C-alpha cells in the first residue's frame, strides 16, 4: 500500500558542501503493518519520514501510496511529531477537531468525530481543558487523536515518545498498541530506542550511518504486548544493537 522506490536525498550546506543524507532506499509497507525505522544519529530517519509525508522532496526516487505518487502532504497520511504541535489557545476537543475544521466540515459533525477519538485515547472529561493544563503523555494522546480524526490510511510518527519519562513512555507504547489494534492503521514509526522498536513493530528497518541505506529489515514475530524479558525479545534486541554498532 506504500512504496519507497530508490529514494535518495542530498543537501547543500551553507559552505557549499554537498551532503548525501539518504542513498537508494527501497521499502514496501503492507496495509495495517507497523514498521519501525531506526539507526545511528544522523542516519536520515526523520528525513526519510518527511519525504514519505510529502513535507520534503527526494533528490531522486519516489513515494507511492495507494497507487498515487506523493509530491506534497496528502490526507492519506498524517504525521505526529515529538513536540506535540498543539494549539495552546484551543481546547482539547478543538485541537482534535482542527483538521476536520480546515476541511470545512460542519461543527456538529466534526465535534462528534473529535469526541469519538478523544474517548479512544482515554481523555474523557478533558474536552474543555487546554494543553498547558495536561501532562506530556496526555498532550501526545491529543496529537494522536487529532491525526486519527482525519482518517488517514497511514500514520507517520517521528519519535513521538522521545520527550517523555521512561514510565510514561512505556505506558504510551501500550496505549498506542491498543489504538493500533482498534483502528488497524498502517504505521511508520521513527525511534532511537531499540527496545521500543522491538516492543511495537512487525518489522524493524535498520539504517546505516550517513548516507542512510537499509542495512537490514528484521521481522518481529509474536503477539502483542510483548514480554521485554523473553528470550525472543532479548535476542532481537541484541541483533538490532549489533547492526547499529556496525560501521
Taking the model in full, what pTM does it have? Answer: 0.93
Domain boundary, last residue among 151, 169, 203:
151
Give exposure, 113-135, as e/b (b: 16+ Cβ within 10 Å): bbbebbebbebeebbeebbeebe
Is the Cβ–Cβ distance between 233 and 198 less than 8 Å?
yes
Residue at which a domain ends, from 123, 151, 179: 151
pLDDT at 84 over 70: no
pLDDT in tens, 28-59: 999 999 999 999 988 999 999 999 999 999 99
**50 and 161 in a common domain:** yes
Encode burial over 27-57: b for 16+ CB neighbours within 10 A, e otherwise: bebeeebbbbbbbbeebbbbbbbbbbbbebe
pLDDT at 200 over 70: yes
Residues spanned by the domain of 103: 86-151
pLDDT tens digits for range 130-171: 999 999 889 989 999 999 999 999 999 999 988 888 898 999
Residues 168 and 228 in one domain: yes
Do 72 and 175 fall into the same domain? yes
pLDDT tens digits for range 109-133: 999 999 999 999 989 999 999 999 9
In a domain, 109, yes or no: yes
182 assigned to some structural domain: yes
Instruction: Report pLDDT for 136.
Output: 87
Is 203 in contact with 241 (CB distance < 8 Å)? Answer: no
Q: 55-74: per-residue pLDDT in tens?
A: 999 999 999 999 999 999 99
Amino acid at each position: 500500500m506504500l512504496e519507497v522506490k530508490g529514494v535518495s536525498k542530498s543537501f547543500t550546506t551553507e559552505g557549499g558542501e554537498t551532503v548525501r543524507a539518504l542513498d537508494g532506499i527501497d521499502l514496501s509497507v503492507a496495509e495495517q503493518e507497523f514498521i519501525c525505522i531506526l539507526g545511528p544519529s544522523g542516519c536520515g530517519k526523520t528525513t526519510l519520514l518527511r519525504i514519505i509525508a510529502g513535507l520534503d522532496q527526494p533528490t531522486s526516487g519516489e513515494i507511492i501510496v495507494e497507487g498515487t505518487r506523493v509530491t506534497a502532504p496528502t490526507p492519506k497520511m498524517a504525521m505526529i511529531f515529538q513536540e506535540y504541535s498543539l494549539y495552546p489557545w484551543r481546547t482539547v476537543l478543538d485541537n482534535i477537531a482542527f483538521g476536520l475544521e480546515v476541511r470545512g466540515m460542519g461543527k456538529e459533525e466534526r465535534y462528534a468525530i473529535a469526541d469519538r477519538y478523544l474517548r479512544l485515547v482515554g481523555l474523557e472529561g478533558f474536552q474543555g481543558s487546554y494543553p498547558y493544563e495536561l501532562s506530556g503523555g496526555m498532550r501526545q494522546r491529543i496529537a494522536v487523536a487529532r491525526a486519527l480524526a482525519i482518517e488517514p490510511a497511514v500514520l507517520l510518527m517521528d519519535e513521538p515518545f522521545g520527550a517523555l519519562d521512561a514510565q510514561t513512555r512505556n505506558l504510551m507504547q501500550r496505549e498506542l498498541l491498543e489504538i493500533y489494534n482498534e483502528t488497524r492503521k498502517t504505521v511508520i514509526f521513527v525511534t532511537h530506542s531499540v527496545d521500543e522498536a522491538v516492543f511495537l513493530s512487525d518489522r524493524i528497518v535498520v539504517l546505516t550511518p550517513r548516507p542512510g541505506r537499509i542495512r537490514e529489515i528484521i521481522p518481529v514475530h509474536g503477539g502483542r504486548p510483548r514480554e521485554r524479558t523473553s528470550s525472543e525479545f532479548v535476542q532481537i534486541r541484541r541483533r538490532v544493537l549489533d547492526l547499529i554498532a556496525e560501521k
